[in-house]
Amino acid sequence: MASGKEITSPPYEEKESAVDAPPPEMIQHIDDKILKHSHDADAAMKAFEGYEGQTLELSEETNRRLLRKIDRHLMPILCIVYGLNYLDKTTLSYASIMGLKLPPSDDKLKSGIGISGPEYSWLGSLFYFGYLAWEYPTSRLLQRLPLGKYSAFNIIMWGIVLSCFAAVENYSGAIAIRFFLGVFEAAVTPGFALFTSQWYTKKEQGFRTGIWFSFNGFAQIFGGVVAYGIAVGARKHGTLIEPWKLIFLVTGLLTSAVGVLFLWIVPDNQLNCRWLSKEDQILAIERIRVNGQGVGNKHFKLYQLKEAFLDPLAWAFFFYALVADIPNGGLSNFFSQLIVGFGYTPEESLLYGTPGGVVEIVALIGCGWLGDKLGYRVLVSMSGMCLALLGMILIVALPLSNNKGRLAGYYLTQASPTPFVAILSLISSNIAGYTKKTTVAAMFLIGYCTGNIIGPQTFRPQDAPRYIPAEITIIVCYAICLVIMAFIHVYCVWQNKKKEKIRNAEGYIRLENQEWLDLTDRENPEFVYTL
């Protein structure tokens, strides 16, 4: 193969304590285990049938050509869909000040579809109940079903569901829409993590994940401008339907249309990619050999599920998502009302929320690029969380009269997703074994859902307009997140040192095509964790 190595002996399994050489019985045990894996290998193994003993030449020029082609076809559609993913679930925030409900001061009255402040908070959470209920099943379906087609199906369906919100007439209908919106959007983030690990090398994944996730910021800008335009147009000229219904129709139908486009453009993997030649399909797989992960395995492996539940790194990812998304759940549903609390009108809040999207874009792309360049993805991403912590302190500490200073503090909080995105890219880079990867992605997003369910409940109507208890909760959560990120960095450094000792032990020889055996990150001594 491209590495030019002719290797015939298997590695031995990593143990908790480092040893100088594996005992004979361990070698025999792993011989049997590797033989078993060879019959249940990654789909990439099939791509190389007939190439035994041959060396595939992947020059630097060819690699760059392939990367450009992959970027040109995949990145635009991934970015647009992920932006719509954010826009669609936060459309509720725009609608809340466009007639869906009354301001908190009028909480006892009814308007729009007849919901009060507490009911609105529960609508913010109900999206994540649907997400939570379906997250693990959809992660298994992402493994079992064709990845591109199943992802496209979910995109089309969540657009249809969102547009149906325009027909909602009561709180019960709104509950159903928000729940099923969460069900269909549950496939997007884990699916995109799989796409990223499937098409890009470890050194490319952090930057690319930062790019497609940064379209949350573009969506915030786009959504704010569209909502502002609809609100102003409705006030000046009137509309045939209520403005808050119009925003749901526009975003929902746009999403479904993009879903159809996604179905045409995005393949399930390199082997059925219509915009790559047969030779380029093989080379596109060869270029990700360095990941040690392959492109997909449809078989459920119980031992990988167990390993995921016993892996400290997986639980660190879970607890980070849980703690980090308590602030996210609150801010994403209440940012318009928070800005109104700074002393601005509802229409101004729609427009003044957009610069926060710029901060998010710059922070995500900048940290993603710098993290990959320096090789310290986790540490670099922590800078965004430090900015967010400073921003929330400004919101709490500055007096009510300092509207501009508090608004600037809100903008800084929009840098908070940088560690979340870094961890999402680490699921692509640092978790191997397809069953384990889908399980850890599900764990991460279950934490994400739980945090987002809790978040809106911290913004209580009686605390308006300052929402001091919610803001203090956010500060504490941000501080805890920094501690968890530091642990993840230290743990990965420690694991890399252990694996290096194993590789340097006498008698260790690497197995040919070991990358395609669907080994987990812990059982593969060749696997190096990205920092």
Q: Give the three-state DSSP class for 455.
A: helix
- Please provide the CATH number assigned to the domain covering 60-503: 1.20.1250.20
Task: Tell me if 81 sits within 8 A of 216, measured CB to CB.
Answer: no
Question: How many H helices and E strands in the chain?
Answer: 19, 0
Residues 6+ apart with CB under 8 A from 17: none
Backbone φ/ψ region at 445: left (φ over 0), alpha (ψ -120 to 50), beta = alpha
Q: How would you write the pLDDT of the chain (531 residues) with one tens digit per residue?
A: 444 333 333 343 433 333 344 444 433 444 445 445 545 555 555 665 555 555 567 788 888 999 999 999 999 999 999 999 888 777 777 776 666 654 444 444 334 566 776 777 788 778 888 888 898 899 889 888 999 999 999 999 999 999 998 888 888 888 899 899 999 999 999 899 889 988 999 889 889 999 998 898 888 788 777 777 777 776 676 666 777 788 888 889 999 999 999 999 999 988 889 999 888 888 888 888 877 776 666 778 888 999 999 999 999 999 999 999 998 877 776 766 777 777 777 777 777 777 888 898 899 899 989 998 888 999 999 999 999 999 999 988 888 788 888 888 888 988 998 999 999 889 888 988 888 988 998 899 899 888 888 887 887 777 777 778 888 999 999 999 999 999 999 999 999 998 888 888 877 777 666 666 778 888 888 888 988
Alpha-carbon distance of 282 to 271, in angstroms, equals 8
Do the beta carbons of residue 241 and residue 99 sit within 8 Å? no
